[in-house]
Amino acid sequence: MGSSDSDKAAVQHSETLPGVSSTAAERGFAATDQNGQPIVQFDLKAEARLRRKLDLFIVPTVSLLYLFCFIDRANIGNARIAGLEKDLNLTGYDYNALLSVFYISYIVFEIPSNIACKWIGPGWFIPAISLGFGVVSLATAFVDNFAQAAGVRFLLGVFEAGMMPGIAYYLSRWYRRAELTFRLSLYIVMAPMAGAFGGLLASGILSLDHVGGVTGWRMIFVVEGIITIGLSVISFITLTDRPETARWLTQEEKDLAIARVKSERVATTEVLDRMDTKKLIQGILSPVTLATSFMFLLNNITVQGLAFFAPTIVRTIYPDKSTVMQQLFTVPPYVVGGFFTLALPLLSWYLDRRQIIILLSTPLVIVGYSMFLGTTNPSARYGATFLLSSSLFAVGALSNSQVSANVVSDTARSSAIGLNVMMGNVGGLIATWSYLPWDGPNYKIGNGLNLAACCTVLILSAVTLLWMKWDNRRREGRNAEEELAGMSRQEIQDLDWKHPAFRWRP
């Protein structure tokens, strides 16, 4: 081995853990050289064993929590066709306003929630906000007018704001860049599954005469709220904050988990850095973060529009079916969506690419909305819903993974993911006004808006991909050693994605 500082660090720690040349998180060593190349070597079999263990102990809990997060958000669509509007005397745009109130608080609290998640620790923060939105969902069963319903929907947005970015940030503490997209998909797939399972659950609940003293649509919120509360209490026990505190990992596995993550972060000497404003801003202002966040905004117009209005759309296609049957007709498209939500990130894991797959997620959706605009045939329009759900939901995993892969520090990652999800929910707010009562039953404005959004994602994703490749070629001409000369270790780490050895990861 050579006598460089990086090589000495590698040698110093190679004896601690077989197959890993650095366990440097606690000891202040970087896991990359000055040019951003890994100086650690891993035992692939040990990595595979660790990955399986992480999948078993982490993913199921966050997936179940996100399933009921999305159910508690979207079950108002099921309640709507079960009589909510009539019982609360909602008229005109009242239903759209109810949906908007949720997104106002959701957007406002998005980035603060992810900063709080880093400060408090996701092992406590995620269960706490899950308990909060479970209680609020339960309370929705007892509202009697628009004002009360708006109040609980606002609180629901406050608590749910931290879920999607919080879980994405949490998983980035444990998984490599290529692995992360598929693990994100394992919980984001719960969004289409919530559509399928939520429809089945709602139809089953509505088949009951009563739950306690509650009847009709109110039973949906009671049952689903109680389930969420139960899961959140369990998650206080099952969620581990970070590798160092995982009682179910051996010390060698903890060292390996830390070293794996560090090996992809140029100039990083600790996985969990101290939070500071400069790094938070770096995460937000990364060009890839900004472009990806805008794409997620456009994508989420279609995702949330489908979630909130799928039961309404199905009702316009099959107006003569019973309420229970209309609920059941919403299930099959979501099952197809669930398949693609796993398949596309799995392909991303294999290729270690995200941008091109975001681009490829748009054509089927464009065809689906074109069908909605081009025909009123019930069978064709119901078939189009399968195309819509085919790849819409996968962009959630792909975009969060993309912004995570294109910053360096843990702090920048928390703000980048927070901005991405915040912008996505600006799209959700737009979606609440995309299907207006007077535009039914064909909803040409709503479907036209979604078609335009998907076409823009296609164009923007292609432009971003070309820019990333161009800028990487430009960075190849920079001399990292000369640019970093005279800088302290802290100053070098603070560069984040501006580090001369950093390369965009398409």
Q: What's the one-letter identity of residue 236?
A: F
CB burial of residue 53 (10 Å; 0-12, 13-18, 19+): middle
pLDDT for 26 equals: 41
- pLDDT category of residue 271 using cuts at 50, 70 and 90: low
CA 146 to chain centre: 30
Q: Is the confidence at residue 55, as pLDDT, over 60?
A: yes
Residue 77 and residue 309 in contact, taking contact as beta carbons nearer than 8 Å = yes
Sign of CA dihedral 492, 495, 497, 499: negative
- pLDDT tens, position by position, 353-381: 999 999 998 999 999 889 888 888 878 88
- pLDDT tens, position by position, 415-447: 898 899 889 888 888 887 887 778 777 788 888
* Residue extent(s) of CATH 1.20.1250.20 domains in the chain: 43-243+274-475
pLDDT for 308 equals: 59
Mean pLDDT of 62-70: 87
- pLDDT tens, position by position, 111-150: 888 889 888 889 899 999 999 989 999 999 999 999 999 9
Mean pLDDT of 38-59: 84
Residue 414 and residue 362 in contact, taking contact as beta carbons nearer than 8 Å = no
Residue 369 and residue 444 in contact, taking contact as beta carbons nearer than 8 Å = no
Q: Which fold has domain 43-243+274-475?
A: Growth Hormone; Chain: A; (1.20.1250)
* 3-class secondary-structure state, position 6: helix
- pLDDT category of residue 10 using cuts at 50, 70 and 90: very low
Cα separation values, 56 from 61, 183, 249, 273, 315, Å:
9, 11, 12, 27, 40
- pLDDT tens, position by position, 441-476: 778 888 899 899 999 999 999 999 999 999 999 988
Q: Which of 18-27, 454-463, 476-485 has the highest mean pLDDT?
A: 454-463
Mean pLDDT of 201-230: 83
Count helices and strands in the chain by DSSP H and E runs: 25, 0
Q: Is the confidence at residue 19, as pLDDT, over 80?
A: no
C-alpha span between 50 and 56 (Å, rounded): 10
- Rounded to 10 deg, the angle between the 163-172 and 177-188 helix axes is 150
Mean pLDDT of the chain, nearest integer: 82
